[in-house]
Every structure is written in structure tokens, then in C-alpha cells.
Structure 1
Amino acid sequence: MATTPKFSQHSGNKLADPSEYRSIVGSFQYLAFTRPDNSYAVNRLSQYMHSPTDQHWQAAKRVLRYLKGTPTHVVFLKRHNPLSVHAYSDADWAGDVDDYVSTNAYVTYLGHNPVSWSSKKQTEVLRSSTEAEYRSGANTASELRWMKHIAIDYHFIRTMVQDGALRVVHVSTRDQLADLLTKPLSPTVQRT
């Protein structure tokens, strides 16, 4: 997705017939299961299914062009792979211009292979970037422990760190692999 302009519910003119938009974006949702690079765009575009505009439609067509140009961008599972599990998480604090709700995301790896990922809008407005990051970190830690229930985020992460089961380190923006799941990235950003 383009980094600008930021989409809102009111950007652009409403489509007279939104059925084609809904069909295309609905199809994108299946692709997000196998294309983590597409997850953020699918998350954002899905939020406008009820009332898409021409700007949302242009963004959907941009995703189609991206997919057409990147047919070989697939998850490649290497045969000889270390059995270490690690993950990246991120949150864009108050990133939605309509309701200021954050998007949190994670990508987990088994060795060099991505095995699960998520880009999801949080359910409520958070009052600090720290809280948004804690929520994202807790969701990621929960995924790593194969838990599907909500724990008390702060204590959950703190206990895992104290037990040595989780190590929290700063990852620079340049090396933050989860960025592609929380925001559109500039075409000049090079990821390794």
C-alpha cells in the first residue's frame, strides 16, 4: 500500500456498486494465509467493506498490481532448518485516523521459516504507545506458547521474561520485520 494518503472512512467518493470491491478484497483474505507481505493491506482494505470509496478501490487495484508483479513471493520452507522459535511484534499506536485504534502484528518463525503471522486492528483505543506495544507483545507471546486466551498482558510478559522463556530486545526500524504487517512501507525501504 502507498504510505500516503492515510485512508479514512470518508476519503474519496462512495462507490455506486461496491460488490466488485467486496469480491476482490474478500479474495485477498484467502491470500493473506499464504502471503504475509499482503496481510497489512488486506487488514486495512477489509475495514472499508461496508462503504468503500474510489480511493479504497484504487488501493485494492494497487494490491492487484503488486500481486501480479510478485507471483514468486511465497513462503519457502527450507528442508534443513534449525528448530529455534522466534518472533517479531509491532504496533502502530493510534494509527487509524477515524477512531485512533492501533493495529498490532506479529510474525513467528521456526528457524528461518515463517509459520504464523497476524495483522489485526485492536479492539479499543489505547492511551499510550507502551500499552499498544505491550498488547502486541502479549499477543505474540501467547502465539508462541500456543495459548488462545487473553492473559493480563503486563504480568504475562514479565513472568515469561523472569522465567527466561522470553527475551525482549529493541529491534531498530530498519530490522523490524513485523513493520510490513502494521503499516505501508516506502518502496525505498530495503528489508533483508
Structure 2
Amino acid sequence: MQRKHYLPIPVNTLSRRCYLIEPPRKAHDQRNLLTGDSIQDIVAVKKFLHHEFRIKDLGNLKFFLGFEVARSQQGLILNQRKYCLDILAEFGFTGCKPANSPSNPTVKLKDDEGDLVQDPTAYRRLIGKLQYLTNTRPDISFAVQQVSQFMSKPRYSHLNAAFRILKYLKGCPGLGLFYPSANPHRIQAFSDSDWATCCITRKSTTGYCVFYGNCLISWKSKKQSTVSRSSTEAEYRALASVACELQWLKYVADDLCLQIPLPFPTFCDNQSAIQLAKNPSFHERTKHIEVDCHLIRAKILDGLIVLSHVPSKHQLADMFTKSLYPGPFNVNLSKMGLLNIHHPS
């Protein structure tokens, strides 16, 4: 499962510091967002748009395409509480007993075990809604990525795994991303991979998370496209993915006129992958990943990233590559910058 980014469109007619964020064309909600770092420029752009299109100003952002925005002097919280409650109500889980994690670490999903679901349309609709919910819920990204692999022929074991996600959401429907008003001006990333974790294809899972200061701004949990011969290769492919993401974020920061210090610290818990990135020579065992090697080397030489080792117990991207037991899962989740304003305790 990969997040979809909606790029801001600069309104260059009046100011380079104002950006118009448009929803997808197929969305029924025709509202747009206008953001910027100057109130005077925003007012001027609104006057210009009203003169051209007769727009209606709805005030400060509170609800947009299922996203709820709550502001205070401490910062901003972005969540999808109403959307989450609507999913629970649609599938009859408003009165269920909450689960303490989105997936069961002891359960391995397979494509040939259990009876086929009689109505796969309901399963696909549920997974589609959960995929949209991952825009503000990184804690369910890996679990949703797992159940979304069986859309063509879902079985009841897959449906029960999807219901486990709903039971987890029942206990924390209002959890959302918190962006404090006082935040360090830096970008750092954590990259991880679980080697040969898929029991069907033996492909590895890539997971990473990117922080702007203490705020989570990008994350990914996705099965790799090819089979890796070693854990080092799997980790290196994950590093290549996060390097591309950091390059994209650098372009976005430049468009927003943000001067973020380089290089971006990138943390990996595999020493072999780090040493391979620092070694410019290739040998027979690394020829099959030479393209990724050149990519990482290029980003290091360009000064975009710097690789550092992090112990596995402090690897924040761990929750995007495997199912964790409730203890490690909650410890990892507490470091993601998620808050629930409906249950402050």
C-alpha cells in the first residue's frame, strides 16, 4: 500500500506563495483548498478567483474529502474519524469488542486455504475503503497491504483478517496525524525490509516512513516486485525506494520555497546494506542489484541522503513490514506522532 500524494498547484498569477490544492477529478466534492504563508496573498488570490469564477469562501478548513482538521495553538490534527465510523457502521462493527492490534502475527494468509467468499464485491468494497483510510492511519498500512493481495479470489480467512482491522479501528476511530506548530526544520527517514516474508511468492516487503521534524509525512508498505536472494538485497531495494521518495520530497520542498538542510538522515538496521552503499566497487554477488546500487550511490554523492545504522528495536519502519505483537506495536505507534483528540488520556 502506497500513499497517493496530491501536488499543490502554484497560483502564479498573483503570488508564488499561494497554492491551490484540487481534489481528484472524479470526486463528488467540488471544494478546493487554498493555502500559503501570507494572509494578504491568500486574500488577493480569493478575490481574483471570485472575480473569475464566482467562488464561495467556506472559511478555515474543517472537513475535506473525508478528512477532518482540528486546530489549536499547539498545532493541527488530521484524521478521518467520521469516515472510519461510517465503515464500522456499514459492516456492522459498531458494537464489537476492540482488538489491540490490526493483524495477528501468528496468522499467515495464503491464497488456497479456506472457502471462497460468496460475495467478493463486499470484500473489495471494504478493502477499498480501508485503503483510503490509510491516508491518515499508517498503523493499519501493513495489515491493509496484506488483505489487498487477495482481491480477485478472497477467502473467508482473508475476510476474517479484514474484520480484525475493523475490530482494531473500533478501539481508536479518532486516531490521526498530529502536526505541532513548533517543529524542527529537518527531514529524516527510516527504511526496513522483511526478507521473503510472503509465503506464496517469497517476495520481500518494503517499508519506510519519512518525518518532517517530529511529524510523519510519508510512509509505505508494499511487497517488492522481484524475489531477493538475500536480506541485504531486500534491504537495499527498500533503501532505493526511500531514496526516490526523498528526492521527490526535495522537489516539493523547493516548489514550496522551503530550505531544508541536506543531507537527509536515513536510518537502516542492516549493516551489510549500508556498507554496500558506501562501497563503489561491485562483485559477482551484487551484479543483479547494480541498478539500485548506482541509484543509492548517486544520491549519497549528490548529498541528498546520508546512511546511518539504527538497532532493530529502534527501527520505526518495522511496523510497515510485518505484523507485530501488541507490545512492540504500541511502542512503535507511540513514536509516529499520532494523537486521538477524542480520548486525550
User: TM-score, normalized by length of structure 2?
Assistant: 0.52
Matched, 1:185 2:287: no
1:123 is aligned, of 202, 225, 228, to: 225
2:205 is aligned, of 103, 118, 123, to: 103
Q: The residue matched to 2:317 in structure 1 has which SS?
A: helix
2:308 is aligned, of 162, 169, 182, to: 169
Cα distance in structure 1, aligned partners of 2:143 and 2:205: 12
Q: The residue matched to 1:188 in structure 2 has which SS?
A: helix
What's 1:42 paired with? 144
What's 1:112 paired with? 214
Cα distance, 1:2 vs structure 2: 0.6
Bigger shift: residues 17-26 or 39-48: 17-26
Answer 1 or 2: higher relative contact order, Cα 8 Å, separation at least 6.
1
Unaligned runs of 5+ in 2: 1-102, 250-289, 336-345
Q: The residue matched to 1:120 in structure 2 has which SS?
A: strand
Q: The residue matched to 1:91 in structure 2 has which SS?
A: strand
Cα distance in structure 2, aligned partners of 1:40 and 1:12: 22
What's 1:160 paired with? 299
Cα distance, 1:158 vs structure 2: 2.4
Cα distance, 1:173 vs structure 2: 2.2
Cα distance in structure 1, aligned partners of 2:114 and 2:214: 41
What's 1:70 paired with? 172
Report which of the two structures shows the higher radius of gyration computed on alpha carbons: 2
What's 1:17 paired with? 119
Aligned partner of 2:137: which letter? R
Cα distance in structure 1, aligned partners of 2:322 and 2:219: 14
Q: The residue matched to 1:108 in structure 2 has which SS?
A: strand
Assess if the C-alpha contact under 8 Å between 2:247 and 2:304 holds in 1. Answer: no
Q: The residue matched to 1:168 in structure 2 has which SS?
A: strand
What's 2:31 paired with? none
Assess if the C-alpha contact under 8 Å between 2:197 and 2:204 holds in 1. Answer: yes
User: TM-score, normalized by length of structure 1?
Assistant: 0.92
Unaligned runs of 5+ in 1: none
Q: Deviations over 1:117-137 (max 9, x none)?
A: 111111111111111111100
Cα distance in structure 2, aligned partners of 1:63 and 1:93: 24
Cα distance in structure 1, aligned partners of 2:324 and 2:306: 27
Cα distance, 1:164 vs structure 2: 4.4
- How much identity, in percent, do the aligned residues show? 43
What's 1:92 paired with? 194
Matched, 1:145 2:145: no
Bigger shift: residues 160-169 or 102-111: 160-169
What's 2:51 paired with? none
Q: Deviations over 1:100-159 (max 9, x none)?
A: 111101111100011111111111111111111111001101111118xxx931122223
Cα distance in structure 1, aligned partners of 2:191 and 2:120: 33
Cα distance in structure 2, aligned partners of 1:5 and 1:11: 12
Aligned length: 189
Cα distance in structure 2, aligned partners of 1:134 and 1:78: 33
Aligned partner of 1:17: which letter? D
